[in-house]
Amino acid sequence: MIYLVTGGRGFIGSHFVEKVLEEGHEVIDIDKMTYAASTKLPFDVNPRYTHIKEDICNLDHLPNCDIIVNFAAESHVDNSIESPKIFLRSNTDGVFNLLSLLRAKVYQKPLFVHISTDEVYGDVNEGEKTEDSILSPSNPYSATKAAAEMLILAYARTFGVDYQIVRSTNNYGPRQYPEKLIPRIIHSLETGQKIPIHGDGSYVRDWLYVKDNVRAIYKVCNSDQKNQAWNVSAYNYMTNLEVVKNICKWKGIDSYLDHIDFVENRMGQDYRYSICSQKTRNTLGWSPIKSHLYNFVDRWKNNNG
């Protein structure tokens, strides 16, 4: 099959491209190469991989493909609070442009798989959100992701576009840009700097290893049950402080609090995210292999991540 991937040089997208190439498919990757993109990747030499440097907002046609998997996005919440417009452009306008191009090809029925986020539900003080829960985003990033989902529902109903929406929890693993919590902790410890932690560090996230997520996305791509949303989660809940404590433990550091600089809380901070992934687990036969905060750092250095 030919996979058209967008944002395949970013963190999750690059692991997905690796998975799809391993499965024997061809990949055309459209990535405009923001600061978060990798300039060098192990699959650059693979003859089944092609990179086109382009903004999804400016595309005027879609290369021939069987499936489109859209990872392209601005992805850092803090940046969306500082400069929301670029988020609206890439995360919502970009999806609108892809849908418009797909509409012209609807007779060929390429499937549109959109990578969304658990953040579209907003924070969850108790219990878990299911795929049918209402979307209630709290920050500009999650609002632009939720807006994209609404456009997809409309294009499916009005124009017959086939889609899948994947909402996953916080990913971690190799190649993540160090603005995000886990690589920032590792980078700070390795360079002798204090780790900046928002507020009192009590905010709860569910940490999913990136390779587990791409296995789930690949299963969603190949499912017969289309036009649905799929939650992907690890039930691996930790406060930000617990994440720091765990990574310090990997590095043999006991006094983790000594390494933290508590900084002003993020505006509109979500207290807790929590989604139920039973539908994805039961229907697609998926579950995460890494159900704890997995020490990928040493394994990855030995090419064994």
Q: List the catalytic residues.
A: 118-119, 141
- Tell me: does residue 149 bind ligand NAD (CB under 6 A): no
Taking CB under 6 A as the criterion, the residue among 52, 101, 153, 177 binding ligand NAD is: 177
DSSP letter for 204, please: E
User: Phi/psi at 146 (nearest 5 deg)?
Assistant: -65, -40
Minimum distance from residue 132 beta carbon to ligand NAD (Å): 19
In angstroms, the CA 244 to CA 190 distance is: 13
The only residue of 3, 11, 49, 87 in contact with ligand NAD, by rule CB under 6 A = 11
Long-range pairs, 280-284, Cβ under 8 A, ≥24: 280/216, 280/219, 280/220, 280/230, 280/231, 280/232, 283/223, 283/225, 284/216, 284/219, 284/220, 284/223, 284/230
Using the rule CB under 6 A, give the single segment among 6-14, 189-197, 236-244, 258-266 that binds ligand NAD. Answer: 6-14
> What single string gives the DSSP state of each residue in 10-32?
SHHHHHHHHHHHHTT-EEEEE--
Q: Taking contact as CB under 6 A, which single stretch among the options 121-129, 166-174, 219-227, 293-301 is the one that binds ligand NAD?
A: 166-174
CB of 16: closest distance to ligand NAD in angstroms? 9
Residue 110's nearest CA partner among 167, 164, 72, 58 is 164
| Residues 72, 53 contacting (CB under 8 angstroms) | no
* By the rule CB under 6 A, 293 interacts with ligand NAD: no
Count of CB atoms situated within 10 Å of the CB of 117: 24
Kindly tell me which residue out of 41, 65, 68, 71 binds ligand NAD, with binding defined by CB under 6 A. 71
User: Which residue number is nearest to ligand NAD in terms of Cβ?
Assistant: 10
- Binding mask 93-122 vs ligand NAD (x if CB under 6 A, - otherwise)? -x--------------------x-x-----
Cα–Cα distance, 153 to 149 (Å, whole number)? 6
**Cβ-based neighbours of 45, under 8 Å, separated by 6 or more:** none
> Is residue 7 a contact residue for ligand NAD (CB under 6 A)?
yes
According to DSSP, the residues that pair with 167 across neighbouring strands are 116, 231
Kindly tell me which of 167 and 259 has the beta carbon lying closer to ligand NAD. Answer: 167
Question: Which CB sits closer to ligand NAD, 89 or 109?
Answer: 89
20 binds ligand NAD (CB under 6 A): no
Is 211 near ligand NAD (CB under 6 A)? no
Report the nearest approach of ligand NAD to the CB of residue 118 (Å): 6
CB of 289 to ligand NAD, least distance (A): 17
Residues 6+ apart with CB under 8 A from 81: 139, 140, 266, 267, 268
DSSP 91: I
Chain positions contacting ligand NAD, by CB under 6 A: 6-7, 9-13, 30-34, 36-37, 55-57, 71-75, 90, 94, 115, 117, 145, 168, 170-171, 177
